[in-house]
Amino acid sequence: MLAIIGGSGLNQFPELEIVGEQKVQTPYGDCSAPLTFARLRDLQLVFLPRHGQGHKLPPHQINYRANMWALKDVGVTRVLAVNAVGGINSTMGPGVFVVPHQIIDYTYGREQSYNFLTDGYINHIDFTHPYSQVMRQQLIASLLAANLRFQERGVYACTQGPRLETAAEVLRLRRDGCDLVGMTAMPEAALARELGLEYAALCLVVNWAAGLDSNELNMEDILKTLAAGMADIKKTIFIFANQ
């Protein structure tokens, strides 16, 4: 079963045929919101708004462990994460979609692991390639079919938030080889790997990262770009889910 984790801008998905909701109890506390079970044509899936109902949870306060545990508990095997990001790479400006292939984690203080023991040893997961290669190729095919502007590779810098970055921090991220900057890829991707879930991300660039544009960052402009991209995000998800 497929799960869609909605990020900023995708905290609702009224086009889905709702089957029911479930509040899942986990050993790690409450999820961001009850899980919504739905149908997308002939496919059953689960939808979870990462930031909660009404978009009230900032990135550093999301209970990532509860979210991923709950999805696994109800039978999810694949997770498609939707992320709004800032563009660092010159080919990744506002309105462009990116299917990231790598992550650099700059977060701190977040619960990063379930600390599973395997044969008495800590479970050191192989995280060489943090995103599912199969799902990435399916996303690329979906974006091609939707005739959208996109980049099929990108290094996602995950920062702590909730504030946006300084211009100097963005320059450091670019020196580190980052193409995009967001706040929610980690520990979400690592937790999915610990649970054996296939995981990939569909990122929409909603602004140039700080200092890379002559204009001041403006939340109103960011939200406009995000709103304009929602129809394309949903179109891509429809194609992806029914491959």
Residue 26 DSSP label = B
210 is in an annotated binding site: no
183 is in an annotated binding site: yes
110 is in an annotated binding site: no
> What is the CA 76 to chain-centroid distance, rounded?
16
Q: How many angstroms separate the CA atoms of 21 and 223, rounded?
A: 28
Q: Do 46 and 70 contact (CB within 8 A), yes or no?
A: no
* Angle formed at CA 94 by CA 9 and CA 89, multiple of 5 degrees: 120
Structure tokens at 215: 């204009």
8 is in an annotated binding site: yes
208 is in an annotated binding site: yes
186 is in an annotated binding site: no
92 is in an annotated binding site: no
209 is in an annotated binding site: yes
Q: Which residues contact 80 (CB under 8 A, 6 or more apart)?
A: 2, 3, 4, 5, 135, 139, 200, 201, 202, 237, 240
Closest CA to 13 of 38, 33, 30: 38
Known binding-site positions for substrate: 183, 207-209
Known binding-site positions for phosphate: 8, 50-51, 184
Known binding-site positions: 8, 50-51, 183-184, 207-209
